[in-house]
Structure 1
């Protein structure tokens, strides 16, 4: 299984999330389905960013793929995942 690693931007909001969605959709449409997302640099995520992650997660699961999130070092970012209970959905 080949896993593609990607780094999430510092501010994962509207503009960055839209670009990221387009990039991952292209990869998924070309046959990729295993992703590891590095949150080391991320200090902010909004509802658009979360929506993109959920959308990509669903597409990966439909194709028997995987989406892993790691290095969520910022307490505010982790708090957003916990408040939305997405920490129970994603492999963090």
Structure 2
């Protein structure tokens, strides 16, 4: 099991999320399916960023892989995960 660790950008919105999605999709196409996303720098996430995470989570689940999130330290970012109940999905 080879786990890929990636740091989420400070502002995880439209432009950054699209670029991130491309990077992860390329890795998935190469056979990677275990990811750990580090939120230590993230200060903002919008619906696009959340959508990217959910899509990646679903793809990896279908491939018997996993997505883990950690260091969600910013209270506003954590609030978004709580409000959307994605904290339960990702086990934050």
DSSP 3-state at the match of 2:81: helix
Q: TM-score, normalised by structure 1?
A: 0.98
Distance 1:91 1:15 in 2: 26
Distance 2:57 2:18 in 1: 15
More helix per residue: 1 or 2? 2
Aligned twin of 1:21: 21
DSSP 3-state at the match of 1:89: helix
Distance 2:52 2:91 in 1: 16
Q: TM-score, normalised by structure 2?
A: 0.98
Aligned twin of 1:54: 54
CA RMSD in angstroms comes to: 0.5
> How many residue pairs were aligned?
92
TM superposition shift of 1:45:
0.0
Aligned twin of 1:88: 88
Structure 1 unaligned blocks of 5 or more: none
DSSP 3-state at the match of 1:24: helix
